[in-house]
């Protein structure tokens, strides 16, 4: 008996897959039907499915990026990817999916995937999916179309505005995001996870332990390699290799 969670942004496809499961495999239970990855993250934490059948191409987050929102010990389910594009098949198996199904879904192909899921469920699903989690979470930071970044939190996903970030500080394998509001957000990601922010005009990793939004620099001290005082009061040292770049960006 498998608990199955479905993810697809197309209602007709979702209905078709659910129909095949109920008609040919009534011994299994559909615990949730989700239309987006953020919705699925919450549902997975709530229902703890044995198998996730997910579309790949969806708005905001593709199916391959589902696992960036979970800690390794939370990835205790198998995954089957469902798509209309055969070119994704190699990628699906490379990241550790137990099967890859093409739309329109055929009953015999679904049966094959379920058999594999049953075998995997009897084995160590967490270990098998560890490779998938590792590869997907090594991807860089995700930007939304509204100039926000998505942060994986224990309760789900949080979106924050990029221009409200003042500084991100390394804290061993964690990072602390200081917001202009004064809020501090602890994230279980290293500072290098946020390197993609440097694609934005005002962000620079000024030191191995600090990434700064330069629009919030209040004063610049030339002491040593330089120190930035930010609008929120933090004082951030500048690495020697970054001094010239900081001065150029600040117009000094």
Do residues 128 and 96 both lie within one domain? yes
Q: Between vectors from CA 134 to CA 129 and to CA 135, what angle results, nearest 5°? A: 100
Place of tokens 């221009």: 163
User: What's the pLDDT score for residue 93?
Assistant: 58
Instruction: Give the per-residue pLDDT at 1.
Output: 81
Question: In terms of domains, do 161 and 73 share one?
Answer: no
Judgement on whether residues 55 and 12 belong to the same structural domain of the protein:
yes
Residues present in the chain in total: 252
Do the beta carbons of residue 44 and residue 52 sit within 8 Å?
Answer: yes
- Distance from C-alpha of 44 to C-alpha of 152, rounded to nearest angstrom: 14
pLDDT means per 10 residues in the chain (252 residues)?
94 94 94 94 92 91 84 81 71 66 90 87 53 47 63 71 94 89 88 88 94 96 92 94 93 87
pLDDT for the residue 177 = 94
State the pLDDT at residue 137: 45
Judge if pTM exceeds 0.75.
no
Range of the structural domain that residue 46 is part of? 3-137
One domain, residues 125 and 163? no
* Residue 129 and residue 205 in one domain: no
Contact 35, 12 (CB under 8 A): no
- Look at residues 136, 168, 164, 162 and name the one whose alpha carbon lies nearest to residue 150: 162
Cα-flanking dihedrals φ and ψ of residue 22, to 5°? -70, -35
Q: State how far the Cα of 194 lies from the Cα of 196, in Å rounded to an integer.
A: 5
Same domain, 187 and 66: no
Q: What is the side-by-side order of every strand in the sheet holding 217-221?
A: 217-221, 227-230, 235-237
User: Do 71 and 27 belong to one domain?
Assistant: yes
Note whether 125 and 62 are same-domain residues.
yes
Please identify, among 117, 137, 157, the residue that sits at the C-terminal boundary of a domain. Answer: 137
109 within a domain of the structure (yes/no): yes
The reply to whether 142 falls in a domain is no
Residues 181 and 228 in one domain: yes
CATH number, residue 157 = 2.40.50.1020
């Amino acid at each position: 008996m498998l608990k199955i969670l479905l993810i697809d942004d197309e209602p007709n496809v979702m209905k078709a897959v659910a129909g095949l499961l109920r008609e040919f495999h009534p011994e299994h239970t559909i615990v949730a039907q989700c239309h987006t990855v953020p919705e699925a993250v919450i549902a997975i934490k709530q229902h703890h499915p044995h198998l996730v059948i997910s579309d790949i191409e969806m708005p905001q987050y593709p199916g391959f990026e589902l696992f960036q929102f979970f800690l390794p010990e939370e990835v205790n389910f198998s995954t089957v990817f469902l798509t209309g594009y055969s070119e994704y098949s190699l990628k699906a198996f490379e990241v550790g999916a137990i099967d890859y199904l093409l739309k329109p879904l055929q009953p015999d192909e679904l049966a094959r995937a379920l058999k594999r899921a049953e075998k995997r469920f009897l084995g160590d699903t967490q270990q098998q999916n560890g490779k998938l989690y590792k590869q997907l979470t090594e991807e860089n930071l995700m930007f939304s179309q509204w100039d926000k970044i998505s942060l994986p939190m224990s309760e789900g996903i949080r979106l924050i505005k990029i221009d409200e970030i003042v500084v991100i500080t390394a804290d061993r394998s964690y990072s602390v995001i200081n917001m202009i509001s004064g809020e501090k957000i602890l994230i279980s990601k290293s500072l290098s996870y946020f390197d993609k922010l440097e694609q934005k005009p005002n962000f620079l990793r000024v030191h191995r332990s600090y990434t700064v939004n330069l629009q919030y620099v209040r004063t610049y001290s030339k002491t040593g390699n330089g120190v930035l005082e930010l609008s929120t009061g933090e004082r951030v040292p500048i690495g020697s290799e970054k001094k010239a770049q900081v001065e150029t960006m600040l117009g000094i």
